[in-house]
Amino acid sequence: MYKIILALLLVSAVEAKVYDGVAVVVQNKPITLLDIKKEMQTDKVDAKKATDILIRKKLEALEIKKRQISVSSSEVYDDIKKMATRNNMSISDFYDAVREANGLTSEELKAKIKHKLLSQKLYNAIAMSSMSEPSEAEIRDYYELHKNEFKHPASFTVVIYDAKDKNLLQEKADNPMFYSPQIASNEQVLPYARISPELASLLSRTKVGAFTPVVPNGKGGFMTFYVKSIESAKDAGLEAVRPQVVNAIMAEKREAVLSDYFARLRDSADINIIRMPEDS
């Protein structure tokens, strides 16, 4: 009798340990309270939304495994190489730039790229057979309803500061009156259409009269951009942004198909919500 009670107590202790800190179990895969809190901080969402995002990720991972979808290291490297090329950087300099901008190591970046490519393959397998190209009427209607989303600056007038020493550039960004002969500078007008999407995004996020974060310059040194002015683009009409409009429509269609697919998958999955963190 005592042995039975002891065994039951041991089982209870093991279960308590297994579920300690676990908030949700999806097909026997745990999501912890810490996972949810990290997602809340990363995406700036409440606990329920963060939990929904993580459940979807778990279901995606299970579906990737079920469909035996894989991504090779060469595919990951090729994707990183393309991003580096778009930014006129070597692979090494691109790793440095990502680490400076996002705090990611090269291994963490590779993991994120692999997850992105796996997701893309899964999404294509699920959605592409269910999607049709938008009609001309769809394209025109979408453009008229979302005109502001397709506007972007025509150009940026910037002063580019270069130096071997990152700390000198950070000092310049913190104190514009700071001078060092080791810092080179030149003023340029950068047309939006002729710079990489990553640089365009960086400059667009920077206020006029402010410096961008210090980033590698692709030559073994560093640089920062001081944004002097931004020239607004005139409305060029639908034809100038037709590819972007079509891509946006297809992205919405794809997400609609995927949302429906994973909603049905979630309804049939074994999901056990144990506890939820506070939103604060």
Domain residue ranges in the chain: 73-130, 152-232
- The residue whose two tokens read 């993991």 is 111
pLDDT category at 76 given cuts 50, 70, 90 is very high
Q: What percent of the chain lies above the pLDDT cut of 70?
A: 90
What's the pTM value of the predicted model, to 2 decimals? 0.63
Q: Check pLDDT > 70 for residue 16.
A: no
Which has the higher per-residue pLDDT, 195 or 74?
A: 74
Task: Check whether 87 has a pLDDT greater than 80.
Answer: no
Looking up tokens 């057979």 gives 129
Confidence class for position 220, pLDDT limits 50, 70, 90: confident
- For the segment 232-256, the average pLDDT, to the nearest whole number, is 85
What's the pLDDT at 238? 85
CA distances to 51, 245, 262, 273, 277 from 47, in Å: 6, 33, 20, 13, 6
- Which has more confidence, 21 or 221? 221
CATH number for the domain running over 152-232? 3.10.50.40
Region 100-116: mean pLDDT is 87
Beta bridge partners of 22: 32
The H-or-E segment that residue 127 falls in is helix 106-127
- Report the pLDDT value the prediction gives residue 184, as an integer from 0 to 100: 94
- Please report the pLDDT score of residue 8 as a whole number: 41
Residue 122's pLDDT is what? 92
pLDDT of residue 6: 41
Q: Hey, what are 25's tokens?
A: 């179990």
**Cα→Cα distances 190→27, 65, 100, 136, 263, Å:** 51, 45, 23, 33, 45
Q: What is the mean pLDDT of residues 207-235?
A: 88
pLDDT at 42 over 50: yes
Strand order in 222-232's β-sheet? 184-191, 153-163, 222-232, 215-216
pLDDT in tens, 141-171: 999 999 888 888 889 999 999 999 989 999 9
DSSP helix/strand/coil, 29: strand
- The dihedral over CA atoms of 165, 170, 172, 176, expressed in degrees to the nearest 10, equals 170
